[in-house]
A = this chain, B = another copy of it.
Amino acid sequence: MKTVTIIDVAKRAGVSKSTVSQYLNGRYEYMGADTRERIKQAVEELGYRPNTIARSLKKKKTKTIGVILANILYSFSTKVIRAIEDVCNREGYQVIICNADDNPSKEKWYIEMLLAKQVDGIIAIPTKSNIDLYRKLKERNYPLVFVDRYIDGLDISTMMLHNEKAAKMCVDELTDNGYERIAMLTMEPISITPRFERIQGYKKALEDKGLKATEDYIASAPLKEMQTRLKELMALKQPPQAIIAINDLSFMQLLTFVKENKLEVPGDLAIIGIDDISFADLFDPPLTTIAQPAFDIGREAAAALIQKINNRYVMDADIRRFEPRLIRRASSTKS
């Protein structure tokens, strides 16, 4: 299988490869109309497709970006990726995806792979551990955008939910419906940005309402231990009347708990989940959730990255906050 190169086209059209290259890049002013036509013919007849690798080598642009995230199985990540891919596709970029599994060494390996591959930019949901590496990239003005998580002191454009507001919406919805003992259920670790901020928002919102946020009511656990953690929470002398699940996975755990313990929602316990889940409408009762605009976030991240790639000048690094949206259903209403 001999591949067709620019030289084959040049020969068939009876011109030099320089001219073919000009043709391929649309600089028709370097050739006559007849020549242009002959090249066009030759390209078609030979079924010629330029070798992007060779082009990239010379141009120092690969028209490819890398996306590093924890796990594409998380629905937030899936949506973000989809949005990124849409934007990139439209702009002629291709997307290499990397599941770093929140594993810093895997993340590092991927970053280096992507750089070796000369990708034009990277979008990441970063771990905190490779801060030095990211800092180095930032210093050499390498196009970089973060999503969902913020790394302190790094000053890199980040697209994320207004997490405090999201938590506040939950609290307000519950207090508006007369609930006062409101707990929060979270996965561990609680140090990553969205969890940290949501917990902050939860505390502040309670205080705003004149309620005190007791540490007892912040139930954190790894996923597998969440059932027992919930049991403890509900066994308190003053068990909560309502629980906010910090993300979709915690919410699933909460639903499992509710189901296994035959709790009536919202009678025995009101619940709200951050992250809209596909079956919120189908659950009995329908579940109140906070939706986050994952597609918008992905779209804006891609758009920002491509801007950075195109404009050589440094852009202001900033945090863009996206608005959460309360979807009120029956699980949080007055009992």
Q: Does A235 contact B (CB under 8 A)?
A: no
Q: Does A141 contact B (CB under 8 A)?
A: yes
Instruction: Report the Cα distance A323→B257, complex, angstroms.
Output: 31
Whole-angstrom distance from the CB of A5 to the nearest CB of chain B?
Answer: 12
Instruction: Report the Cα distance A36→B190, complex, angstroms.
Output: 46
Q: Number of contacting residues on A, CB 8 A?
A: 46
Stretch at the interface among A54-62, A172-180, A194-202, A224-232: A54-62
Whole-angstrom distance from the CB of A154 to the nearest CB of chain B?
Answer: 18
Contact between chains at A117 and B52 (CB < 8 Å): yes
Q: Does A255 contact B (CB under 8 A)?
A: yes
Q: Does A314 contact B (CB under 8 A)?
A: no
Whole-angstrom distance from the CB of A314 to the nearest CB of chain B?
Answer: 13
Q: Does A216 contact B (CB under 8 A)?
A: no
Find residues 255-300 in chain A having any chain B CB closer than 8 Å to their own CB: 255-256, 259, 277-279, 281-284
Q: Does A222 contact B (CB under 8 A)?
A: no
Contact between chains at B72 and A140 (CB < 8 Å): no
- Residues of B near A118 (CB, < 8 A) are 51-53
- Residues of B near A62 (CB, < 8 A) are 53
Q: Does A81 contact B (CB under 8 A)?
A: yes
Whole-angstrom distance from the CB of A98 to the nearest CB of chain B?
Answer: 8
Contact between chains at A79 and B73 (CB < 8 Å): yes
Can you name 23 A-B pairs with beta carbons within 8 Å? A1-B141, A49-B116, A50-B116, A51-B116, A52-B117, A53-B53, A53-B62, A57-B57, A64-B96, A71-B82, A72-B85, A73-B78, A82-B99, A89-B99, A94-B96, A95-B97, A252-B282, A255-B279, A255-B282, A256-B282, A278-B278, A278-B279, A279-B283
